[in-house]
Structure 1
Amino acid sequence: MTEKLSTKAIVVFDIDGVVRDVSGSYRRAIADTVEHFTKQAYRPTPLDIDQLKSEGIWNNDWEASQELIYRYFGAQGQPREQLQLDYNAIVAFFQSRYRGTDPDHWTGYICDEPLLLQPHYLEELTRASIAWGFFSGATRGSANYILEKRLGLQSPVLIAMEDAPGKPDPTGLFATVEQLEKGLDETPAIIYVGDTVADMYTVVKARELDPHRTWIGVGVLPPHVQETPARRDAYGETLLAAGAVVVLTNVEKLNPAKIQEILP
């Protein structure tokens, strides 16, 4: 008879802005892409990008880039239907900046992303009987680059862009949890850790679709919003308003003691 395992909670992590700092990579690639497709007329600031993402539906950075291009030209009086933007060309340009131009050896901004957590943190969760995995809007290649190559994790549970609809649709979160709870003899609380409004909305929608489970949203402030107290506080309030039960300055502050504190 297979022994059933016990766990105190399941923690699912977003990756961008939580596991890695993407202010100089994904967000820089957004700015480069918008600048290129507006013929150098407009380069969105970090605040411009945050304001777009605060709408809760622009988790995909390729789509976010396209939307910022549309809005720039719209402000110049050019309607969307007349622009005929080539989405595939936007994606290709973005990837050339983020990954680099060599498909076999990545040389782009992804190579220099600072890590926001270390493997010992995840080991601490495991020792405390807390299961963990990842649900991200990043491509599987990009996510695995950071998880396996940079952090050295061995085949972690991961649901990536190719595996599920974009957030705030909670399908990918459900799929991650399904993998993590195999073999468990109970239904533990689920914590989703993210840095955007879309991440918190994902938890809210999960709760609506599966109200019999405990769903907890934990917000993490990405590094680029912590440069001034006013910016930090405003961003934190936005995450709380979107459904976060707590907002932390770094993911590693969600340690076993903090997890125990926020569990019902």
Structure 2
Amino acid sequence: MTDNSYIRTLVIFDIDGVIRDVGNSYRKALADTVEHFTSGEYRPTLTDIDELKSEGIWNNDWEASQELVHRYFETQGKSYKAVKINYKTIVDFFQRRYFGTDPNKWNGYICNERILLGLPYLEQLSLANIDWGFFSGATRASANYILQDRLGLQSPILIAMEDSPGKPDPTGLFATVSLLQSRTDHISMVIYAGDTVADMQTVENARQVEPRINWVGVGVLPPHVQENPSEKNAYGKKLKQAGAAVVIDNIQDLTPRMVKHLLKDESEQW
């Protein structure tokens, strides 16, 4: 292996379900949106939403809302093309639920989000010479609200929805690495911690494009699936099947010690 003074591991975090609990914000706004556009006939459960997202292509909650509306109408005998739904109208409705109705002071579901880590955890990573940043499918405004306003981070490294194609396209992950690379030495491993199948598939796709870097997916179980043991086990299994090297209950379980073990395991494989 390379001399330790030149070895650097990067940890890149997804935000939704990893840094913040979105069970009563994004997921609730999604359910509201589907219920509204099906005229109150169908309100997806958290399990319904998880099943959709386990397909790996519905990371965008606006698109996920539209898809669930279409799938409901298909069960009613209406084809996808026959159901005319304006995408912008879906986005606008969703955003009013999530951000609220006051453009000057958010009063929507975003205000209910619970933070899943503390600054001491991030400081612990930095002290261990582990650089970190964020790659999320959330809008930049939403991501900065949690990172800067709630966590108190100053100018965090962030690639958000507006900056790259949606996951599992790895472009945003590469962009985050590029921003972090400018202030670090040789990269030995990149860990991406996420809570969805699409997050793990993003890591797999990055490995295919840039095999010279050790890419490691860490699956994080979102809070809402941990209330039921069978749901928790099933969700973790899907993350593993999608490529997660390890599945953890809380992002703060990804300690510098665990990172060191992951680095050792990956180095032995290589």
Please tell me the residue identity of whatever aligns with 2:75.
A
> In the alignment, what sits opposite 2:210?
210
* Residue in 2 that maps onto 1:262: 262
Structure 1 residue identity aligned to 2:127:
R
The SS at the match of 2:12 is: strand
Residue correspondence of structure 1 range 1-264 to structure 2 within 5 A:
6=6, 8-263=8-263, 264=266
AA paired with 1:111? C
The alignment of Structure 1 onto Structure 2 pairs a total of residues equal to 260
Residue 146 of structure 1 deviates from its aligned partner by 0.2
User: Matches of 2:185 and 2:142 in 1, distance apart?
Assistant: 34
Tell me the secondary structure at the aligned position of residue 82 of structure 1: coil
Contact 2:8–2:184 under 8 Å retained in 1: no
Asked whether the 8 Å contact 1:7–1:131 carries over to 2, the reply is no
C-alpha distance in 2, partners of 1:198/1:187? 24
2-structure distance, mates of 1:185, 1:163? 25
Q: Which amino acid aligns with 2:163?
A: D
TM-score, normalised to structure 1, is: 0.97
How far, CA to CA, are the matches of 1:193 and 1:101 in structure 2?
A: 32
Are the aligned partners of 2:34 and 2:65 in contact in 1 as well (CA < 8 Å)?
yes
| Deviation at residue 184 of structure 1 after TM alignment | 2.7
Distance 2:186 2:160 in 1: 26
Give the 3-state SS of the residue equivalent to 1:12 in structure 2.
strand
| SS of the residue 1:31 aligns to | helix
Query: What is the CA-CA distance between 1:81 and the residue it aligns to?
Result: 1.1
Deviations 1:134-171 (A, max 9, x none): 00000000000000000000000000000000000000
Equivalent position SS for 2:191: strand
- Work out whether residues 6 and 129 of structure 1, in 8 Å CA contact, stay in contact via their aligned partners in 2: no
- Structure 2 runs not aligned, ≥5 long: none
Given the two structures, how large is their TM-score scaled by the length of structure 2?
Answer: 0.95
CA distance 1:187–1:8, shift in 2 (3 Å): closer
Identical aligned pairs, as a percentage? 62
Cα distance in 1 for residues equivalent to 2:245 and 2:262: 8
Deviation of 1:104 after TM superposition, in Å, equals: 1.9
Q: What secondary structure is seen at the aligned counterpart in 2 of 1:101?
A: coil
Q: CA deviation at 1:102?
A: 1.5
Following TM superposition, by how much is the alpha carbon of 1:103 offset from its aligned partner in structure 2, in angstroms?
Answer: 1.8
Give the C-alpha shift of residue 27 in structure 1. Answer: 0.2
1-structure distance, mates of 2:247, 2:170: 20
Instruction: Check the 8 A contact 1:134/1:157 in 2, yes or no.
Output: yes
The CA deviation string for residues 95-154 of structure 1, in whole angstroms up to 9 with x for no partner, is: 000000112211000011000011110000000000000000000000000000000000
The alignment yields a C-alpha RMSD, in angstroms, of: 0.9
Q: Which one-letter code corresponds to 1:58 in the other structure?
A: W
